[in-house]
Structure formats: structure tokens, C-alpha cells
Amino acid sequence: MNIMLFGAPGAGKGTQAKFIEEKYGIPQVSTGDILRKAVADGTPMGLEAKHYMREGKLVPDGIIIGIIRDRLSEEDCRKGFILDGFPRTEPQARALDQLLGEMGKKIDVVISLNVPDSTIVDRVTGRRVCTSCGASFHTEYAPSKKEGICDLCGGELFTRKDDNEETVTKRLVEYHSQTAPLFDYYKKEKLMEELDGTQGMTEVTRKIFEILEQKNKEKS
Ligand code: AP5
Ligand code: MG
């Protein structure tokens, strides 16, 4: 299954991608995680991307499309993948179509996690992320058992540099102007499944699994 998770910053894409990854054994492909690693490693791509990310701006399409081209060609994506945070602009969506066409693949389903802006700031400012496995926690809604330590791998939790109110507001502006219009594109392609992302995490996961089981049945 080739799955795309769609939604605003803080909608729960990363959280749900981890659950899907665990259940179906297909990898999460998060452009945000790949960029953060490049920034931490100080690679040339990381150095270029860093300023955009700190400012809550989108990183230029050329960089992102290159990342996806490389990542989707890796062996572990052969049986499927979960796109998290890509595509985010029209040129990225077009590049994805072209790339998948070249690879003889297609997207099976786009799951949109619908969460209003009023909920987003709270979610993002309370988020804590594992330095080691990338799992997301929340000080209030999903606290780790031991403060500052990841439940899954024991790694240290940190607060992302862009998870402050000012930057989140800018990320939301980028989302509404550049990414939200893609919703109609995938709806027209009849790939879009919408979920109320304000429900509890377990409920959202349950509904995602229901959609995926249905899609699996349709495929076989
Ligand atoms: P990226 O890392 O992709 O950030 P984002 O899209 O802003 O999304 P987030 O990771 O903030 O949110 P999420 O939906 O994964 O939420 P999560 O599950 O963690 O991108 C970062 C930056 O990189 C961008 O700003 C841009 O600069 C650049 N970039 C990346 N991709 C790019 C691209 N394609 N093109 C150009 N630039 C790109 O959940 C959030 C919090 O809420 C957590 O604390 C979680 O515990 C909690 N939570 C989750 N679900 C629930 C629930 N149901 N109820 C209560 N709390 C919940
Ligand atoms: Mg994320």
C-alpha cells in the first residue's frame, strides 16, 4: 500500500504514521524528519534548509523532490510507504505523479486528518520528540511515562526549534496558501478519505486501520 497522510502542522501525521508503520511494516517517509536529520548532521542540504525551517517557510521544491526521489527508490519502499508531509505544493504533487509513473506505482489512498487551527498551536507547543526514533509525545495529551524519556526506545525527548507559537502561525499560513489547495486535487482523483483529527489518538488510529483494511480488500 502506498499511503499519503495529509493535514496541517500538528494534525497528527507523524503520530499516526508510526502506528501504521508498526502494523503494516511499511516505512514512514517524512520529509520533515529527513530535513531535521540533515540539519543535525550539518550536510550542505541541511545548511540550506535550516533557515527556511526556522522561519516556518517551506523548503524549495527542488530540494524536496530530490529527497523523495532518493528515498522512494530505497529497497524498504518496494512494498509500500507512508508519505508524511509530502507533497506540500503543486509542483511537488506533479513531481510525485511523474516519479510514481516512472516507477510503475501509484498512491492507493490519501488520508486527511482534519484539525482546526485553533487546536494546532496547543498541540505543537506541547509536543516533545524523541532524538533517537522520532516518536512524538505531548506534555498533556500523550505524556511519556518518564519525563523527558521516550517510552519506545529510551531516547531523550526534545522540543523542535519550530514548535513555538510565532513559527507555528507562519507554518499555518504556508499550509493554507500552498498545501491545502492540494486537497481538491486528491479529492478529484477519488483518493481522499477524511477523518476528524480532533478525536483521541487511539480513535483516529482505529479509523485509519478501518480505511486501510477496506482499501486492502478492494485491491485483492
Ligand atoms: P514537518 O516536520 O513535516 O512539520 P509539519 O507538517 O509542520 O507537521 P508536524 O510534524 O508539525 O505535525 P504532525 O502532523 O506530524 O503532528 P504530530 O503527529 O507530531 O515539517 C517541518 C518543516 O520542514 C516545514 O515547516 C518545512 O520548513 C520543512 N518541510 C518539510 N516537508 C516539506 C515539504 N514537503 N516541502 C517544503 N518544506 C518541507 O502531532 C503533533 C502533536 O499533537 C504531538 O505532540 C502529538 O502527541 C499530539 N497529537 C497527535 N495526535 C493527537 C490527537 N489525536 N489528540 C491529541 N493530541 C494529538
Ligand atoms: Mg510530523
Per-residue pLDDT of 122-177, as tens digits, reads: 999 999 999 998 889 999 999 999 999 999 999 999 999 999 999 999 999 999 99
At residue 38, the pLDDT reads 96
Name which residue sits closest to atom 44 of ligand 1, judged by CA: 127
- The average pLDDT across 205-212 equals 98
Residues 6 or more apart whose Cβ sits within 8 Å of residue 81: 2, 3, 26, 27, 28, 29, 72
Domains of the chain, by residue range, sit at 2-115+170-219
At residue 48, the pLDDT reads 96
168 CA distance to ligand 1 centroid (A)?
Answer: 10
At residue 134, the pLDDT reads 87
What are the catalytic residues? 13, 88, 127, 160, 171
Ligand 1 contact, 82 CB (< 6 A) = no
Closest listed ligand to the CA of 124: 1
What CATH number belongs to 2-115+170-219? Answer: 3.40.50.300
At residue 220, the pLDDT reads 81
Q: What is the mean pLDDT of the chain?
A: 96
Ligand 1 contact, 167 CB (< 6 A) = no
At 57-82, the pLDDT tens digits run 999 999 999 999 999 999 999 999 99
Ligand 1 contact, 123 CB (< 6 A) = yes
pLDDT band of 219, cuts 50, 70, 90? confident
What CA–CA distances, in Å, run from 55 to 63, 135, 205?
Answer: 17, 23, 31
At 15-29, the pLDDT tens digits run 999 999 999 999 999
Percent of the chain beyond pLDDT 90? Answer: 96
